Amino acid sequence: MGLSPEQFRVGSLGARTIPSPLKLSRERGDGIANYVYDDTYLLYQVTSEGGERIRSDLRLEVAGPRESILFNPPDTRAAMVTCGGLSPGLNNVIRSMYFELHYKYQVKEVIGFQYGYRGINPARGLEPITITPEFVRTIHNEGGSVLGCSRGAEETSVIVDRLQEMGLSILFCIGGDGTLKGAHAIAEEVRARGARIAIVGVPKTIDNDIPFVYKTFGFDTAVGVVREALQAAHTEAVGTPNGIGLVKVMGRDSGFIAAYGTLASTEVNYCLIPEVPFDLYGEGGLLDHLDRRIRKRGHAVIVVAEGAGQELFKSAARARDESGNILHSDIGVLLRDEINAYFKQTDLSISLKYIDPSYMIRSVRADANDAVFCDNLARSAVHAGMAGKTDLVIGLWHGLNVHVPIPLAISSRKKVNPESNLWRNVTGATGQPLRIGGQEAAR
């Protein structure tokens, strides 16, 4: 994809003239935390290959508190909304965002819209929640979202009407690809009206598939839960003659959870992801490989991402969910049934245990790494919003939080590169071929 410096330019609602109440330092080396200036950038690209020139003009603006802000805190009303599916860490983000707004910036009021974008539409009859210290006191110890989530879009003009009627200055949109597309549409409508409402995103998807964002919150926790499921599958597999453990995990279009779960476990023998097609039947196909492994080792563990192997189903018009995502056919059930059917025709009697921890993965509370990450993302989002920056999402890039323009973040979907170190390490850990079937059958 060809990139231009203009795509990295962050939107702003105007000149900042109000001194920040944070009382941070302007000096380096005085032992006091510092403000971040707008000319602090991080190079998008830091490595080169084959003599390729690193482009110094492709730069991401570093996130953090600004010395001057746009919104006067005593007059500021901020709102937040959680959209899409659940993810570990949602309550952590809500809590930390509120703490930064209320205690550090001392904004006038913070509210939460219920059940995603539908909660902003007055026709839905969902009253916003006034967030207080007592409301968020213990929510970080719970999974889910205290504001509730939902999929699906609402009329953009209706949303902006409501934001203006309520006198809101900032809307924080916490969600994945569909949420960010909605946030961009809202920002565009706000811009067309000449309104002063900042739209700031916090990236949430356990699939970890948002581009220009190294990692999304909830991903680390999800990998930890998957690791436990894979360990259970391995225990079941080795505990019976010719045991097979089959685990299906989330990953509609990107196989990061399956890949990282494999590396965290190191007990997986076959990792199947959407980015790497595989053959199920014939010489060198998965069933052939599995047959040979069971005869040699007596057990096997397979992890499959939900979007893998869709080419194995008969082509037909696919339904979509309320966010517009294609609803995939169930690859886990297909593999379970086909593996059982295959071995019934052989002289081997197998014991297959099928584990689907999908909703358990996304509904647990955040682990320690994600809790820290959520806090960092939330506070960076507040700093951006109070500074009047808009139509952006907070992303982690090369170890720093940065401002990623939403159009850039929704321009594509991040996927596992079959030529990457990640996939090479996965196949090294499992011992599977780089591709199962096809030309690999002859190797």
Q: Going by DSSP bridges, is the β-strand pair 198-203/77-82 parallel, antiparallel, or unpaired?
A: unpaired
The CATH number of whichever domain residue 424 belongs to comes to 3.40.50.460
Residue 326: the pLDDT is: 67
pTM, whole model, 2 decimals? 0.93
Kindly state whether residues 212 and 228 are assigned to the same domain: no
Q: pLDDT digit string (tens) for 139-174? A: 999 999 999 999 988 999 999 999 999 999 999 999
Structurally, the chain folds into a number of domains equal to 2
Kindly state whether residues 139 and 113 are assigned to the same domain: yes
Kindly state whether residues 90 and 183 are assigned to the same domain: yes
Kindly state whether residues 253 and 373 are assigned to the same domain: no
Contact 406, 393 (CB under 8 A): yes
Average pLDDT over every residue of 348-359:
94
CA distances from 15 to 7, 64, 75 (A): 21, 17, 17
Cα–Cα dist 206/184, whole Å: 21
Kindly state whether residues 75 and 110 are assigned to the same domain: yes
User: Structural domain of residue 338, as residue ranges?
Assistant: 219-359+418-442
Cα–Cα dist 328/308, whole Å: 9
> Can you give the C-alpha Rg of the chain in angstroms?
24
Tokens of 236: 């079941």
Kindly state whether residues 194 and 333 are assigned to the same domain: no
Residue 319: the pLDDT is: 65
Q: Please confirm, yes or no, whether 207 is among the known catalytic residues.
A: yes
The CATH number of whichever domain residue 190 belongs to comes to 3.40.50.450
Cα–Cα dist 100/97, whole Å: 5
Rounded mean pLDDT of the chain? Answer: 94
Kindly state whether residues 256 and 378 are assigned to the same domain: no
pLDDT tier at 321, thresholds 50, 70, 90: low
Kindly state whether residues 158 and 95 are assigned to the same domain: yes
CA distances from 423 to 248, 258, 263 (A): 18, 11, 10
Q: pLDDT digit string (tens) for 291-317? A: 999 999 999 999 999 999 999 997 655
Kindly state whether residues 286 and 347 are assigned to the same domain: yes
Residue 441: the pLDDT is: 44
Active-site annotation holder among 177, 207, 375, 391? 207
pLDDT surpasses 70 at 438: no
Q: What are phi and psi of 321, to 5 degrees?
A: -85, -175
Kindly state whether residues 151 and 239 are assigned to the same domain: no
Kindly state whether residues 163 and 274 are assigned to the same domain: no
pLDDT tier at 53, thresholds 50, 70, 90: confident
